[in-house]
Amino acid sequence: MFNNSFKHCCSYFFIITIILCSTSCNQSTINSKEKVEPIHVRVIWTENPSNHAIISWTTLHANGGPHYVYYDTISHRGNLKAYTYKRKAKVNGQITMVEEDREKGVPPGYYHHSEISNLKAATAYYFVVESSGVISEEYYFITAPDDDRPVSIIWGSDSRAGGEREFSPTFSKLLPDIIENTALHEIKGHEARQRMNEVITQIFEDNKNVIAFTHGADYGLTAQWRHLYWWLEDQQAIVAGDNRLLPLIISRGNHDTEIGFKENFWLGNSIEGRTLDTFYYTSNLSAHASLITLNTEISVTGEQRVWLNKTLSLIRGKKRWVVVHYHRPAYPAVKAFKGQTFTRVRNAFVPLFEKHNVDLVAESDGHVLKRTLPIRNGKHDKSGIVYIGEGGLGVPQRPVTDSTRWYVQSPGYAISSHHVHVINFNKDNLHVQAIGIDGEVIDNFIRQPRAKVSTPPTSPKHVR
Amino acid sequence: MSDKTCIKYSLIHDCSIAVTKVLQLTVMVQCIGIFLHSSSIGFFTDFLFVNHSFTYQQATAVENMFAWVVLALGIAIFIHPVKLLLVLISVLTFLSAYIQIEQGGFPFSSWAIPATASRYAAPLALIFALNCNKIHLSYWVATLGLCLTFATHGIKALLFHPNFIDYIITSGSNLTGLEICQSAAEILLAGIGLLDIICALAILVYPYKRIFYWMIFWGFITAFARITELGIDMYGEFLIRIAHFTLPLVLLLYFEKEQKHNSIYAPIAQ
């Protein structure tokens, strides 16, 4: 009797396991034709984007070096000899692949990162990258200003692709259509992410103040190559018609923990010599605007918290605008408020935000769109801090089944909608907009400056 | 039946009752923990909704069903342990670990199966404990489960799991008012990790009473660290880890039984 029951139980478990295993995705296979030209060319900003940038790219062949960036303040249309500056890639290597990456057909990739510095502020830099004698198209980007002109950033997060596309062919044959159709009612893959990238490109082209695209993390389901490859492929669409690239400011999320993340997003060292592979740092967007990137995937009460307190003490009196962003929310709109990670982030970071009166906080992870009431000491307070975001760059959006949480009451809200934010740092106000997947404005509000900036702004002195 | 056999069976019976009760309580409390965890964070929702394009309603329905079934099973086996239900609890607990690996999203998520081994080992150990002839299997299932859990946590500690650093820093501050810096927490973690691994190996090759006492104490402290770090709201996180200190208790009971048996058996043999 028991033996039979046990066998049945084992059979059911086996079937469930087969279902779970077989639902993994079959990403479209890469064309096997070997690509030799550099791809995924991107500009990464870290602490001082007015005079420093990292140029990164991928190659799909192992033909060795040399790997160079050629750059100048005027366009030379790829004529290598004409460029004034040339930098060798500082970090190169093969991107780690696991068995699933090979099964999904992504080709082996190689990362290349080059650091360029001593740049002029608010200046267009034209560049090409060269790998093994093959050069890319010429792109350009504009460095951040070091004066007090208005600047804007695009901020968004959670761009991991949606549901996997189909059951495995073997399993699909076995499964009755009616079950398959019910289980896979609406397969969108990464269409939503691609659509959001189009929206970002449109904003970037329309708003000349936009200087960077800040990603609040979770780029893919994992940071393994089959997920990052497709993210980088889709990311290539964010380029203006004149080949202007929008520099990226990178943070790390809970689905970005694999080694592939550090391989593809190399940030070098901080100005004071600290390695930035901890993914917490301050980006000076202009003389009066700072963006602090935090990392909720490492200890939040240790060195990071000490650093945050010190950094806020240093910059709060000097900057009109201090905005903070990170991945796991302190005030989740839909996930459990008392969840372990959220409580930890709330206990570690929020008291410092309130002590130093940061102007805005952007959070991710929940897969909804939110704006909170201004919060201080765990309750609504006009002098408090507004938390926006929660992640809508392509990941399927959760329905908001419970909107009774006190901190998302009007004028705050929590809704289900793909979105990206535009944060405009003006002299008189901080203007925040949430833009939907059709380019529509979903939210629009301003925050008044509260920092009494006593000293006139000075240009950043650090030269790398 | 000889005197020797009578004594042996009497001891096994007494021990078995105590072990059964401890394991029944463990499995029930653990099921409550899984229920709370599933209701608040969710094992299945993201996995089915985000990764596999189920509708949110379908995903939450599966989640709720899972949570309530586990809770009902936990209560049922506390009232009357049925082997089939215990197998089911073990399978569902294992399934939740598997989903954690598939879903990811937290440090060392790919290690969920060995890390949570004591959770799905506890119901299996109970199945064998219900049968006096299979007590030795109960002992070894509990030993292996505990060994995997302690060894995995030990390695995580050696690799400076970020949450463990936060447990030490915040619990230290909450309990003693001391400010522990990250580097001190990391040194402490290295020692803790090493000790966990030694304990995990010791119960396999050289089981010793004091090791079980230590594992009961340490299993409780580390499970309770969720509460000392972030407050009583984390009781679900504590409950789900009850096997971390009750399985060493079970092993201690078995071990003491064995020692008692040997001490009585020795004079008879002479």
CATH class as words, domain A39-142: mainly beta
Chain B positions touching A185 (Cβ under 8 A) are 53-55
* Interface touch B231/A23, C-beta < 8 Å: no
CA of B82, closest CA in chain A: separation in Å?
A: 10
The pLDDT score that the predictor gives to residue A9 is 44
Closest in A255, A298, A336 to B40, CB measured: A336
Give the range of the structural domain holding residue B38, as residue numbers without chain letter.
3-269
Q: DSSP states of A2-24 as a string?
A: HHHHHHHHHHHHHHHHHHHHHTS
* Interface touch B182/A16, C-beta < 8 Å: no
Bridge-based pairing state of the strands A248-250 and A441-447: unpaired
* Interface touch B234/A340, C-beta < 8 Å: yes
The pLDDT score that the predictor gives to residue B105 is 87
- Nearest Cα residue in chain B from A338: B233
pTM score: 0.88
CA of B3, closest CA in chain A: separation in Å?
A: 33
Biggest CA-to-CA distance, chain A: 84
* Interface touch B231/A302, C-beta < 8 Å: no
Domain coordinates in residue numbering, chain A: 39-142, 151-164+186-447
Q: Which two tokens stand for residue B186?
A: 């990391």
The C-alpha R_g of chain A, in whole angstroms, comes to: 23
- Nearest Cα residue in chain A from B53: A163
Is the CB of B181 inside 8 Å of chain A's CB atoms?
Answer: yes
The pLDDT score that the predictor gives to residue B11 is 54
Q: Is the model's pLDDT at A453 over the cut of 90?
A: no
CA distance A403 to A399: 10
Chain B residues 122-161 with a CB less than 8 Å from chain A: none
Closest in A163, A257, A300 to B53, CB measured: A163
Best to test chain A binding among B49, B52, B110, B180 (most A CBs inside 10 Å): B52
Chain B residues 69-108 with a CB less than 8 Å from chain A: 83-84, 87-88, 91, 94-95, 98-99, 102, 104-107
The pLDDT score that the predictor gives to residue A165 is 44
The pLDDT score that the predictor gives to residue A402 is 81
- Nearest Cα residue in chain A from B49: A163
The pLDDT score that the predictor gives to residue A23 is 40
Return the exposure string of A216-225: e unless at least 16 CB atoms fall within 10 Å of the residue's CB, then b: bbbbbbbbbb
pLDDT (average), residues A63-69: 84
Helix/strand/coil (H, E, C) string of A104-166? Answer: CCCCCCEEEEEEEECCCCCCEEEEEEEECCEECCCEEEECCCCCCCCEEEEEECCCCCCCCCC
- Binning pLDDT at 50, 70 and 90, where does residue A19 land? very low
Closest in A2, A9, A300 to B91, CB measured: A9
Spatial CA neighbour of A68 closest among A53, A82, A57, A52: A57
pLDDT tens per residue across all 270 residues of chain B: 455 555 555 555 666 788 999 999 999 999 999 999 888 767 788 888 887 878 888 889 999 999 999 999 999 999 999 999 999 999 999 999 999 998 888 889 999 999 999 999 999 999 999 987 888 899 999 999 999 999 999 999 999 999 999 999 999 999 999 999 999 999 999 999 999 999 999 999 988 899 999 999 999 999 999 999 999 999 999 999 999 999 999 999 988 887 777 665 554 444
Residues 6+ apart with CB under 8 A from A419: A156, A369, A392, A434, A435, A436, A437, A442
Note the Cα A260 to chain centre separation in Å: 15
Cβ burial of A7 (10 Å; 0-12, 13-18, 19+) is: exposed
CA of A228, closest CA in chain B: separation in Å?
A: 15
pLDDT tens-digit profile of A196-217? 999 999 999 999 999 999 999 9
CA of B91, closest CA in chain A: separation in Å?
A: 7
* Interface touch A343/B182, C-beta < 8 Å: no
CATH class as words, domain A151-164+186-447: alpha beta
Backbone torsions φ then ψ of A404, nearest 5 degrees: -90, 0
B42: left (phi over 0), alpha (psi -120 to 50) or beta: left
Is the CB of B40 inside 8 Å of chain A's CB atoms?
Answer: yes
* Interface touch A299/B182, C-beta < 8 Å: yes
- Nearest Cα residue in chain B from A296: B162
* Interface touch A396/B50, C-beta < 8 Å: yes
Chain A positions touching B166 (Cβ under 8 A) are 299-302, 344, 348
A145: left (phi over 0), alpha (psi -120 to 50) or beta: beta
pLDDT tens-digit profile of A407-436? 999 999 999 999 999 999 999 999 999 999
CA of A3, closest CA in chain B: separation in Å?
A: 9
pLDDT tens-digit profile of B153-186? 999 999 999 999 999 999 999 999 999 999 999 9
pLDDT tens-digit profile of A218-250? 999 899 999 999 999 999 999 999 999 999 999
Best to test chain A binding among B92, B113, B230 (most A CBs inside 10 Å): B230
Chain A positions touching B169 (Cβ under 8 A) are 299, 301-302
Q: Which two tokens stand for residue A205?
A: 């082209």
* Interface touch A300/B91, C-beta < 8 Å: no
Closest in B94, B105, B234 to A255, CB measured: B105
Closest in A9, A303, A336 to B84, CB measured: A9
* Interface touch A297/B107, C-beta < 8 Å: yes
CA of A140, closest CA in chain B: separation in Å?
A: 35
CA distance A201 to B262: 78
Equal CATH topology for A39-142 and A151-164+186-447:
no
Q: Is the model's pLDDT at A461 over the cut of 90?
A: no
* Interface touch B104/A13, C-beta < 8 Å: no
- Nearest Cα residue in chain A from B237: A340
pLDDT (average), residues A145-150: 95
∠A25-A26-A31 over CA atoms, to 5°?
145
CA of B10, closest CA in chain A: separation in Å?
A: 26
The pLDDT score that the predictor gives to residue A130 is 94
The pLDDT score that the predictor gives to residue B131 is 84
Mean pLDDT across chain A, nearest whole number?
Answer: 87
Bridge-based pairing state of the strands A289-293 and A281-286: antiparallel
Q: Is the model's pLDDT at A290 over the cut of 70?
A: yes
pLDDT tens-digit profile of A304-336? 999 999 999 999 989 999 999 999 999 999 999
The pLDDT score that the predictor gives to residue B260 is 74
Backbone torsions φ then ψ of B66, nearest 5 degrees: -60, -50
The pLDDT score that the predictor gives to residue B39 is 80
- Nearest Cα residue in chain A from B37: A339
pLDDT tens-digit profile of A167-201? 555 555 566 665 655 555 454 568 899 999 999 99
Chain B positions touching A367 (Cβ under 8 A) are 50
Whether the upstream peptide bond of residue A49 has omega within 30° of 0, thus cis, is no
- Percent of chain A exceeding pLDDT 70 equals 83
CA distance A299 to B188: 15
Q: Determine which helix (DSSP H) or strand (DSSP E) holds B74, and give its type and residue range.
A: helix B56-79
CA distance B62 to A200: 36
